[in-house]
Amino acid sequence: MLNLTITALREAYRKGLRPAEVVREIDRRVDARGDDSVWIHRIPLADLLTRAEHLEANPDLPLYGIPFALKDNIDVAGLPTTAGCPAFRYVAERTAPVVERLLAAGAILIGKTNLDQFATGLVGTRSPYGVPSCVFDERYIAGGSSSGSAVAVAAALVSFALGTDTAGSGRVPAAFNAIVGLKPSHGLLSTAGVVPACHTLDCVSVFALTCQDARQVLEVAGETPVLRGPVVPAGAPFRFGVPVAAQLEFFGDVEAAELYRLAQERLVGMGGERVEIDFAPFQAAAQLLYGGPWVAERLAAVGEFLFAHPGEIHPVVSEIISSGSRFSAVDAFRGLYRLEELKEAASHQWKQMDMLVLPTTGTTYTKAEVEAEPIKLNTNLGYYTNFVNLMDLCALALPAGLRPNGLPFGIQFIAPAFNDRSLSTLGETFLVGTADSNADPSLVRLAVVGAHLSGQPLNYQLTERHARLVRACRTADNYRLYALAGTVPPKPGLVRDPDLNGQGIEVEVWAMTGEAFGSFVAAVPEPLVIGTLVLEDGERVKGFLCEPYAIADAREITYFEGWRAYLADLSGG
């Protein structure tokens, strides 16, 4: 299975992979998923191949051959822009500057993605083009409004995708699909050529598989690379703020609350100092976005179209945007004055912390639940996100573990504007676990490759031992993978071959206490054994290996480069 991180693709290109091979594989993957409601417009394969062939003359471009997707409220010359509304559709005459820079850097646009209509919603269900699903469970929402962009990345259809973020649309879908969501400082990425939601607040956002990838896209796409120095020097102690307990809200999701607590413990292990702050001014600002005059800015953006085509607008979107008519110019000024008061109150909290660490959302919902209560549940999802643009902050959404049912939980790092690079650096350390110098020696890191992966039938054996997911990565390039015969549930066998020069096998690294590890190992059945695995970055961890005798009648599946890809092939995609 082709690894689509920017770092991995660059290395594969260096070894001889061609961009045409990448776009053919992506086209196959997209077709294999069928009607998943991710795409509004796909670039034809013939055009992708032409683009790929033209790029081969410039292999040193910073994003050479890197496939990406684009939320369909961002213009590309000659392509339709719908903003999730077929009647609004127009063919763009110019390409948005942020996209021009990516294309000039060698990136390959695969297509334009689905969204909550007019970027109004955090649920991802308000689109006539269908409802994308969470990649972990199709019964659950993907999050919005940048639903299609997030799923395209999480489903390994592209390396990165652009979304937009006004109320959290670049972060909520990242949390629901366990990827990275970067909400840059306002002004770092141009919003020219973007259908506005709230023009004064809108930001173009980046979905990626790693913090490093998101940062690289930001640096290439940005027209004003004014990134301040880090909040704290790399490796130095830092202070992270969390709301006092009474101000936390998980809407009954006790598993999310526990994962948030564990994330804080991990930050302490990285050298962070936990500081309780008063979240009240931030939450009061969040309520202004839809409960105050800023909703009138949405009406200013698309109100003329809404009133001319009332039957073409999603009813929930119409209700929200139309409500902006109740605000007057006096209300707008009063709202601005109130926001300045809240920023001043928040400034006292910022004196105590270098960054604010919050859940991205307090919980998640099924599609059926959102259909039953579309506005209330959407409001719940914005509890921790709606204030960020109003208060001129930058944010980075990160995966932070899985619930026992396999659904992901996410947190966000938030800091004053132009501290994007610092958040990215801390995010990288968080996702790797802890820096070597701060690693908890009492925890054992275990790589799993098959039935213990997230969402697979034996994953509970990790979660019931309170193991936490540290990262998803690959082995070194000299491992072979086999589908073992007669195992229940089906299991793979991993065998090291010193003479192999492959692409590595996808694994997840989990961390658990020594006691938990001991009980886990005791339950491992033959022919599997726990040995030492070498990962793609050279780290050595404990992991599943297979005794050589068992591969005599096993099918080699190394070319799938991972157990999930093999299972998907068995099921027809």
482, 531: one domain:
yes
Q: Which two tokens stand for residue 24?
A: 């053919």
Residue 44: exposure state from Cβ atoms within 10 A (0-12, 13-18, ≥19): exposed
480, 364: one domain:
no
Domain stops at, among 369, 398, 432: 432
Q: Which two tokens stand for residue 8?
A: 């991995």
Q: Is residue 290 part of a domain?
A: no
Q: What is the C-alpha to C-alpha distance for residues 284 and 292, in angstroms, rounded to an integer?
A: 11
378, 454: one domain:
no
Domain stops at, among 432, 462, 492: 432
Q: Is residue 297 part of a domain?
A: no
Q: What is the C-alpha to C-alpha distance for residues 418 and 378, in angstroms, rounded to an integer?
A: 28
Q: What is the C-alpha to C-alpha distance for residues 230 and 243, in angstroms, rounded to an integer?
A: 23
Q: Is residue 295 part of a domain?
A: no
Q: What is the C-alpha to C-alpha distance for residues 458 and 180, in angstroms, rounded to an integer?
A: 26
Q: Is residue 296 part of a domain?
A: no
3-state SS of 442-488 is CEEEEEECCCCCCCCCCCHHHHCCCCEEEEEEEECCCEEEEECCCCC
Residue 184: exposure state from Cβ atoms within 10 A (0-12, 13-18, ≥19): buried
423, 487: one domain:
no
Asked if 367 contacts 100 with a C-beta cutoff of 8 angstroms, the reply is: no
Q: Which two tokens stand for residue 357?
A: 């660490």
Q: Is residue 284 part of a domain?
A: no
> How many domains does the chain fold into?
2
Looking at residue 552, which CATH number applies to its domain? Answer: 3.10.490.10
Asked if 74 contacts 193 with a C-beta cutoff of 8 angstroms, the reply is: yes
Q: Is residue 147 part of a domain?
A: yes
451, 404: one domain:
no
β-bridge mates for residue 182, sequence order: 206, 396
357, 224: one domain:
yes
Domain stops at, among 432, 459, 479: 432
39, 184: one domain:
yes
Tell me the catalytic residues. 71, 145, 169
Full domain range(s) for residue 38: 6-278+351-432
Cis peptide before 416 (omega within 30 of 0): no
Looking at residue 419, which CATH number applies to its domain? Answer: 3.90.1300.10
227, 136: one domain:
yes
Q: Is residue 225 part of a domain?
A: yes
- Give CB contacts under 8 A, 24+ apart, made by 87-92: 87/309, 87/312, 88/118, 88/302, 88/305, 88/309, 88/312, 92/193
pTM to 2 decimal places: 0.79
Q: Is residue 460 part of a domain?
A: yes
121, 151: one domain:
yes
209, 121: one domain:
yes
pLDDT tens-digit profile, the chain (573 residues): 578 999 889 999 999 999 999 999 999 999 999 999 999 999 999 999 999 999 999 999 999 999 999 999 999 999 999 999 999 999 999 999 999 999 999 999 999 999 999 999 999 999 999 999 999 899 999 999 999 999 999 999 999 999 999 999 999 999 999 999 999 999 999 999 999 999 999 999 999 999 999 999 999 999 765 455 455 555 678 999 999 999 999 999 999 999 999 999 989 988 899 999 999 999 999 999 999 999 999 999 999 999 999 999 999 999 999 999 999 999 999 999 999 999 999 999 999 999 999 999 999 999 999 999 999 999 999 999 999 999 999 999 999 988 878 799 999 999 999 999 999 989 988 887 533 333 455 688 899 999 999 878 898 888 888 787 877 889 999 999 999 999 999 999 999 998 998 889 999 999 888 888 888 998 899 999 999 999 987 888 999 999 999 999 999 999 999 999 899 888 765
428, 555: one domain:
no
450, 421: one domain:
no
